[in-house]
Amino acid sequence: MKTIDINWLRKILTTVEKLQRTTNSKSKDCRCEKEIFICRYFKFLENKYFKIKIKNRVYFAVFPKSTTTVSSCLKDDYKYNSYGIKFHLGYTDFEYQVSFRDEQLNVIQLILHWNDIIEIKYKEITAEEYFNVVKMFLFEEKLELI
């Protein structure tokens, strides 16, 4: 399994640190610039399948595109897309929310600090490999019903 390239992560973190926690007044998007950047940057994860180890737990994961509609009394409703990684609005620039569907098709949402992220190990797998694992869990549940 591979580890995440720390130099690549530092480049992303450097960019995020330069962005503001305020919204762009010219945009109807009410999210902070850091969150917008992260959601757009990780678009490459859309519908990719991974065997991933986070905090000593192994998951078979898929990162689907999710669309969120935000209602605001000040502006019109707007939608934005997310691809599994979001900036976590905490006290630092070092926490991110990672969400994906696991091998049991449950939605997993983890808030990870930089120290946890650099420890992630992963291997990209095919859709067929992912669904073979999913089928094992679905079949197991049917056996319990009998």
- The two three-digit tokens of residue 42, written as one number: 């990780």
Q: Biggest alpha carbon distance in the chain?
A: 59
- Each residue's pLDDT tens digit, 76-111: 677 778 888 888 877 776 888 999 999 998 999 999
At 88 the three-state DSSP class reads coil
Burial class for 78, CB neighbours closer than 10 Å (0-12, 13-18, 19+): middle
**pLDDT at residue 29, rounded to an integer:** 61
Q: Which amino acid is at 144?
A: E
Round to whole Å and give the CA distance between 117 and 9: 9
Tell me which residue has tokens 């999710």: 66
Sort 133 into a burial class: Cβ within 10 Å, 0-12 / 13-18 / 19+.
middle
Computed over every residue of the chain, the mean pLDDT equals 84
Q: Which residues contact 17 (CB under 8 A, 6 or more apart)?
A: 93
> pLDDT tens across 32-67, in order?
888 888 888 999 999 899 999 999 999 999 998 888
Confidence of residue 145 (pLDDT cuts 50, 70, 90): very low
Backbone angles phi, psi at 93, to 5 degrees: -95, 15
The pTM of the full predicted model, rounded to 2 decimals, is 0.79
- Polymer length of the chain: 146
Contacts of 3 (CB under 8 A, 6+ apart): 118, 119, 120, 121, 122
Domain residue spans in the chain? Answer: 2-145
